[in-house]
């Protein structure tokens, strides 16, 4: 087997679903003509419609686009959370009095680190007539 035959076999394997043995036999049966072998494989519907490396490249590009899009959504979400504030207010004779005004990242961090304390705080606030709200007016002005 010479180098040309090996190159032809490799070419056929890249174009069709054939083994080395099948490619060699097809080339021998068709006087070494790659075109004739491709026509036979096409009749048998064994040619790749798209070469595997092209398919992989498209999938990689699709995956990169999806990853980029997910990253942008996550970045937007984090910015919205970072700009939000958790405000606890109590009605008083001279209007609403702010008791707590925390950045949302700090409030979420505290709730994660001390969930029982967060639950007790919410219950105590509800029992004492406090209102809890999330202020994201900064975010609304950006939209």
Strands (DSSP E) found in the chain = 85-92, 95-103, 130-135
In a domain, 24, yes or no: yes
Range of the domain at 133: 84-142
In a domain, 133, yes or no: yes
Q: Are 12 and 37 in contact (CB under 8 A)?
A: yes
Number of domains within the chain: 2
In a domain, 79, yes or no: no
| Phi and psi torsions of 129, nearest 5° | 80, 20
In a domain, 21, yes or no: yes
In a domain, 57, yes or no: no
In a domain, 76, yes or no: no
Residues 6 or more apart in contact with residue 13 via CB below 8 angstroms:
19, 20, 23
pLDDT digits (tens, 9 = 90+) for 34-85: 999 999 999 998 888 765 555 666 777 888 888 889 999 999 988 888 889 9
Stated pTM of the model = 0.46
Q: Are 32 and 3 in contact (CB under 8 A)?
A: no
- CA angle 21–30–10, rounded 5-degree value: 40
């Amino acid at each position: 087997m010479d180098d040309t035959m090996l190159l032809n076999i490799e070419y056929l394997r890249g174009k069709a679903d054939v083994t080395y043995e099948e490619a060699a036999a097809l080339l021998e049966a068709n006087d070494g003509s790659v075109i004739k072998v491709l026509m036979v494989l096409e009749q048998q519907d064994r040619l790749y419609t798209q070469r595997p490396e092209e398919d992989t490249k498209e999938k990689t590009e699709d995956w990169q686009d999806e990853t980029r899009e997910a990253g942008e959504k996550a970045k937007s979400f984090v910015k919205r959370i970072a700009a939000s504030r958790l405000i606890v207010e109590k009605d008083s004779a001279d209007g609403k009095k702010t008791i707590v005004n925390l950045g949302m990242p700090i409030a979420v961090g505290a709730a994660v680190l001390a969930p029982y304390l967060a639950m007790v705080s919410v219950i105590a606030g509800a029992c004492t007539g406090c209102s809890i709200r999330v202020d994201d007016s900064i975010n609304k002005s950006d939209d």
